[in-house]
Chains A and B, each alone.
Chain A
Amino acid sequence: MSETCKVAVERRGDVALLWTDGYINNQGGEEIAREAYAQIGNGARGLVMNLEKTKIVNSIGISILIEVLEKVMDRKGVLAFCNLTPTIDKTFRIMGLAQYASIYANEEEALKAVSVQLASP
């Protein structure tokens, strides 16, 4: 895990895949939000965040992820997370992120589910 959070992005049609590496705190959350907003601005309707290399998320990071989620929902888009540690999975469920964003075991499942949701009327 990196000292500071890094975010890598790949665009697959109208879905953007974001890989995080490191602590999702204020700095990490802002980095994710910056990349996510850039993708939304460029027409992405679906976001899949792969948190395989993230072991820690704090409440600031979560509040930023909620802001990203609200932005995605405003635009009738879809946000999904995958490869969460059990601790982060539970954190997202308690903090309400999982109420509007889906959580999947792996990237393949997440991409498939987001594509289906975006295709449905």
Chain B
Amino acid sequence: MTSRASAAPPSRGFWKTAAALLHEDTRSPLTARLAAAATHLSGASRCAIFLRDKESWVRADPGGDDWAPRLPDPAARAAVRAEGALWIPLESEGEVHGFLGLEGVDETEPELGRSLGLLLGALLGANRFSRMVKDAGFELKTRLLELESLYDLGLSLAGQLDLPSLADEVLFRSISLTDARRGTLVLFQESGEVLLERNIGGEILPTEALATWRLPEGEAVINNAAATAPTAGVRSATCEKCLAIGISVSGRRLGVLAVADKESRDGSVIDFTATDARLLSLFANQAAAAIETARLHREAIEKERLDRELELAAAIQRELLPHTLPIVAGVEVAAASVPTRQVGGDYYDFFPLSRGRLGFLIADVSGKGVPAALLVSTVHAAVHLQIDLSETITDLVSRIDRHLQRYAAARKFLTLFFGLIEPDTGLLRYVSAGHNPALLLRRFGGIERLDSTGVPVGILPNAVWTERTVAMEPGDLVCLYTDGVTEAVNEREEEFGMERLTRILGGASAMSAEQVCMEALAQVAEFARGMPQYDDQTMLVVRRT
């Protein structure tokens, strides 16, 4: 052991040596460098450094020998001798940062101990201060990151209309900024069923439990005892600590956002804080607004798609109706159709046949929109294909029925009225497959109903229809219509009805077929007074001249 000759303060050489030793290997931990410097400068045989770790004192130098001293007195504020060593408090700015234990040093050199205490204390204090500054800088940057993330999330969500991407964005940021190990975001449909579920790091709750989890809205719930106590009434079997919030808009529950198990640098799980709760609440609020925007956008797209579909259906239907009316000796014809916004699937047609005869048809197919328009298209094709092959009207209707059974989608059917008039004789043959009663207006007054002669087409396999015959005198008029006419409603939800139609026809003896048609539809429009109608209104009139 080296002993010093006097108790004088250490010379300039001491400090130079200390500085050189401390800067010799800056890659080593500070405590290792301090221990090496203290051993060299004091000439001690062995050295130990104790530092405070929360509430206790722990040995902080690398050790490496079999010396395992206990810190004798943490309250000591002056050098003491114990455990065969000299124990020097390492102090700066009135605060003890640690203790230096030196084995085998000379008791007669108090200045050496004091100088080492000051040197190491100052260095530990500076190091602690440097760490505090560094931690504060990191903390400050973390807060800045939170603010930036909120701003970025707002911007990002404002332009994000894809729900899965939106959910990922919210969940990733929530987990990241709360230092959670896992997170869950679930969105519900209006029916309460799960629309979308995202889990990172494993699920917090099973899906069925998430669906019934009634969390408060607006402010996140912190449960730092989630391992033993339920969070908002629900217990998670998988997490220790939990932070969760309900996502809602105007009281409507949209989903749940939850994170669990906030981690620390040493790998342990620590408590969620009020800052975490505030952050998650802000994320949930932003998510709610974005989810609502995405939903409205989806609805707008769906409406646009429906509008396009309706335009297409209307175009198909317009194309299938006759562009001109036939001119046939002995008869006068008229027809008109008022489509509704939904496109109801009404169809009419005329078929000039041999020997001056005229076939005419009105039909109303089931359904609306494109499916109805396609069914009209199928009926149109069937009638035009089969009319020349059919020997009778019942044969024609049966052929149309078989065609539909073969080519149309299941559960599709139509009502139709097919009439065949021989102008020479005035004989009207007809089949009505479940259609509204046609009205026969006699020239000298009186209206007769031509009722249905069978079931709608396409509804029953092997159905049979009956053909009926009625004689039309010159001036007699037959009026066919679809249920959109008689079932048109006004603002009092009253239907136009058969009675009003019959009354109009009763005063139409002197009118042309076209005038009858126009007058009836005009009165229906007058009755409805702009109320949106559910079904197309179609009318076909044939008068024997």
From residue 23 to 73 of chain A, which have CB atoms closer than 8 A to chain B?
A: 23, 25-27, 30, 55-60, 63-64
Q: B132-160 interface mask toward A, CB cutoff 8 Å, 1 = contact, 0 = none? A: 00000110011011001100100000000
Q: Which of A12-20, A86-94, A100-108, A110-118 contacts B (4 or more CB under 8 A)?
A: A86-94
What is the chain B residue whose CB lies nearest that of A64? B265
Partner of A58, one of B141, B176, B267: B176
Partner of A96, one of B141, B148, B172, B176: B141
A3 at the interface (CB under 8 A from B): yes
A10 at the interface (CB under 8 A from B): no
Question: Do B201 and A26 have beta carbons less than 8 Å apart?
Answer: no
From residue 264 to 291 of chain B, which have CB atoms closer than 8 A to chain A?
A: 264-265, 267
B240 at the interface (CB under 8 A from A): no
**Which residues of chain B are within 8 angstroms of A94 by Cβ–Cβ distance?**
141, 144-145, 148
Question: Do A60 and B265 have beta carbons less than 8 Å apart?
Answer: yes
What is the chain B residue whose CB lies nearest that of A63? B265
Question: Do A3 and B201 have beta carbons less than 8 Å apart?
Answer: yes
**Which residues of chain A are within 8 angstroms of B175 by Cβ–Cβ distance?**
23, 56, 58
What is the chain B residue whose CB lies nearest that of A96? B141
Known: A3-B202, A59-B142, A95-B145. A90 touches B152 (CB 8 A): yes
Partner of A74, one of B27, B138, B141, B145: B27
**Which residues of chain B are within 8 angstroms of A96 by Cβ–Cβ distance?**
137, 141
**Which residues of chain B are within 8 angstroms of A23 by Cβ–Cβ distance?**
175, 200-201
Rounded to whole angstroms, the CA-CA distance of A7 and B192 in the bound complex is: 40
**Which residues of chain B are within 8 angstroms of A56 by Cβ–Cβ distance?**
172, 175-176, 200
Rounded to whole angstroms, the CA-CA distance of A55 and B201 in the bound complex is: 12
Rounded to whole angstroms, the CA-CA distance of A97 and B200 in the bound complex is: 25
Q: B371-406 interface mask toward A, CB cutoff 8 Å, 1 = contact, 0 = none? A: 000000000000000000000000000000000000
B197 at the interface (CB under 8 A from A): no
**Which residues of chain B are within 8 angstroms of A75 by Cβ–Cβ distance?**
27
Known: A25-B181, A94-B148. A60 touches B264 (CB 8 A): yes
Distance in Å: Cβ of B200 to nearest Cβ of chain A: 7
**Which residues of chain B are within 8 angstroms of A91 by Cβ–Cβ distance?**
145, 176
Partner of A60, one of B137, B144, B168, B263: B263
Query: Interface majority SS on B: helix, strand, loop or mixed?
Result: helix
Report, as a range, how many residues of chain B touch the other chain. 20 to 34
B173 at the interface (CB under 8 A from A): yes
**Which residues of chain B are within 8 angstroms of A26 by Cβ–Cβ distance?**
263-265, 267
Known: A58-B179, A63-B265. A87 touches B145 (CB 8 A): no
Known: A26-B265, A26-B267, A60-B179. A55 touches B148 (CB 8 A): no
**Which residues of chain A are within 8 angstroms of B168 by Cβ–Cβ distance?**
55
**Which residues of chain A are within 8 angstroms of B263 by Cβ–Cβ distance?**
25-26, 58, 60
**Which residues of chain B are within 8 angstroms of A60 by Cβ–Cβ distance?**
179, 263-265
Known: A3-B201, A25-B263. A59 touches B26 (CB 8 A): no
**Which residues of chain A are within 8 angstroms of B145 by Cβ–Cβ distance?**
59, 91, 94-95
Rounded to whole angstroms, the CA-CA distance of A57 and B142 in the bound complex is: 12
Distance in Å: Cβ of B167 to nearest Cβ of chain A: 13
Known: A26-B264, A96-B141. A87 touches B172 (CB 8 A): yes
Partner of B138, one of A25, A30, A58, A95: A95
Distance in Å: Cβ of B185 to nearest Cβ of chain A: 13
Rounded to whole angstroms, the CA-CA distance of A87 and B148 in the bound complex is: 10
**Which residues of chain B are within 8 angstroms of A3 by Cβ–Cβ distance?**
201-202
**Which residues of chain A are within 8 angstroms of B26 by Cβ–Cβ distance?**
74
**Which residues of chain A are within 8 angstroms of B137 by Cβ–Cβ distance?**
96
What is the chain B residue whose CB lies nearest that of A2? B201
From residue 98 to 153 of chain B, which have CB atoms closer than 8 A to chain A?
A: 137-138, 141-142, 144-145, 148-149, 152
Rounded to whole angstroms, the CA-CA distance of A64 and B26 in the bound complex is: 20
**Which residues of chain A are within 8 angstroms of B144 by Cβ–Cβ distance?**
94
What is the chain B residue whose CB lies nearest that of A70? B27
Rounded to whole angstroms, the CA-CA distance of A95 and B176 in the bound complex is: 13
Rounded to whole angstroms, the CA-CA distance of A4 and B202 in the bound complex is: 10
Rounded to whole angstroms, the CA-CA distance of A60 and B152 in the bound complex is: 21
Question: Do A55 and B172 have beta carbons less than 8 Å apart?
Answer: yes
**Which residues of chain A are within 8 angstroms of B152 by Cβ–Cβ distance?**
87, 90
Distance in Å: Cβ of A20 to nearest Cβ of chain B: 15
Distance in Å: Cβ of B288 to nearest Cβ of chain A: 21
Known: A25-B263, A60-B264, A63-B265. A87 touches B179 (CB 8 A): no
Rounded to whole angstroms, the CA-CA distance of A28 and B26 in the bound complex is: 28
Rounded to whole angstroms, the CA-CA distance of A27 and B152 in the bound complex is: 27
Rounded to whole angstroms, the CA-CA distance of A55 and B148 in the bound complex is: 17
Rounded to whole angstroms, the CA-CA distance of A85 and B145 in the bound complex is: 15
11 A-B pairs besides A57-B176, A60-B179 with CB distance below 8 A are: A23-B175, A26-B263, A26-B265, A27-B267, A58-B179, A63-B265, A64-B265, A74-B26, A90-B148, A94-B145, A96-B137
Listed in ascending order, the chain B residues whose CB lies under 8 Å from chain A are 26-27, 137-138, 141-142, 144-145, 148-149, 152, 168, 172-173, 175-177, 179-181, 200-202, 263-265, 267
> Could you show 28 A-B contacts with beta carbons less than 8 Å apart?
A1-B200, A25-B263, A26-B267, A30-B267, A55-B168, A55-B172, A56-B172, A57-B176, A58-B176, A58-B177, A58-B263, A59-B145, A59-B179, A60-B263, A60-B264, A60-B265, A63-B265, A75-B27, A87-B149, A87-B172, A87-B173, A90-B148, A90-B152, A94-B141, A94-B145, A95-B138, A96-B137, A96-B141
